[in-house]
Structure 1
């Protein structure tokens, strides 16, 4: 099974800079973990022995506040990695919880072997730094969206980015997860999310049928909240 997905993950930014020999050695120590719906992969505070690449399904990264409220930090889709930053820190505990949102598979990459091979190939480490810098830049933009923009702008920005064709005037798509999880990821209460969706509907910007969003004017959706 590992051999079947090796070519698929070989192009990932965390692995593409490795030599063929180093990659072959690393992949021999990896394993595939199957996750069921809402099945936990690791808990906040547990030993961070590995990082992961999502092969199928989606993985939710979240915290639980002392009062029991779930705060979604990120939803990881196929082809994306998570917990990889811990490989380069002294911190050896996962700072978040991770669980499958639906049945799927993740590739478990052991920290010990990855760092050993990376240290043996300095040129690989330099190329990896460039890739990680690009990812950090995207994260900074996401933080700016959450901290500097109001809730109306955040939701308009989030929904408009889901449009399959960014040049179209109208489009249709399904929400990638439950509405309360989207609200949590955008830093708003579910009640606020519902109120803003109603505003968009009343203004004729969108119509909603369950998880399906029909956008009637994508430019107005982008401008919502400005």
Structure 2
């Protein structure tokens, strides 16, 4: 279930504050930002509530105010492929405003309760064309995402499944320099397997191997890492 709140105050609103902190909007003149906020919508989502579907007209892009959003595709045989997980403070779908065919290429839904700001793409595009600093912010944001995609392609093509899973868990550690640590998985294990391009059975088998080697212990979505260095070496 999703609800939309169009009655947001401009002055001091959490939405305005969130926009101002993000580099896509930090260079907007105050008047333009207030005008943009008046045109934005706050969308509240329950767990697994859809935000948009693949192929829908992309008239808005989004900033996550709270919670987490999953971007995914569904294969012809019904399997869900997670493309990206968007967290609080991150924007997504902004690049579509520069494409001729403005349709969402993915599905988006909430993972748990979430709030997102829906930003009108055309109005924002008009504003950044008049504010070169904002245009540079957009270019920087897309460059970061391109760099991230290149890294993900490298991981998926050059690393084996053991290495991918070990690196993923290592990246979730709050202090990678520590010898031990604790991890809270950000989503269901089958979705993590999908994001890492492996079968759920492979994911479960590798987790079992890690447990047998004394590297980790698992309770639901909580993982205690007993040997951080051993975890890093697991894939090798």
For the Cα contact (< 8 Å) 1:2–1:32, is it kept in 2?
A: no
5+ unaligned residues in a row in structure 1: which ranges?
A: none
- The residue that corresponds to 2:223 in the other structure is 213
Deviation, 1:122, is 2.6
Give aligned pairs, total. Answer: 226
Alignment partners' CA distance in 2, 1:2 and 1:74: 31
Deviation, 1:196, is 0.4
The TM-score, its normalising length taken from structure 1, stands at: 0.95
Work out which of the residue numbers 178, 185, 209 in structure 2 matches 1:175. Answer: 185
- The residue that corresponds to 1:53 in the other structure is 63
Deviation, 1:180, is 0.3
Alignment partners' CA distance in 1, 2:209 and 2:196: 17
5+ unaligned residues in a row in structure 2: which ranges?
A: 1-7
- The residue that corresponds to 2:122 in the other structure is 112
For the Cα contact (< 8 Å) 1:17–1:128, is it kept in 2?
A: no
Alignment partners' CA distance in 2, 1:110 and 1:47: 12
For the Cα contact (< 8 Å) 2:61–2:120, is it kept in 1?
A: yes
- The residue that corresponds to 2:168 in the other structure is 158
Cα RMSD for the two superposed structures: 1.3
Residues 1-226 of structure 1 correspond to what in structure 2 (within 5 A)?
1=8, 3=10, 4-5=13-14, 6-226=16-236
1:12-71 deviations in Å (ceiling 9; x for gaps): 121112222222221111010011111111110010010001111111111011111111
Deviation, 1:2, is 5.1
The TM-score, its normalising length taken from structure 2, stands at: 0.91
Instruction: For residue 33 of structure 2, give the secondary structure of its aligned residue in structure 1.
Output: helix
Alignment partners' CA distance in 1, 2:204 and 2:22: 37
Alignment partners' CA distance in 2, 1:94 and 1:124: 23
Instruction: For residue 23 of structure 1, give the secondary structure of its aligned residue in structure 2.
Output: helix
User: Does the C-alpha gap of structure 1 residues 209 and 154 become closer, same or farther in structure 2, counting only changes over 3 Å?
Assistant: same
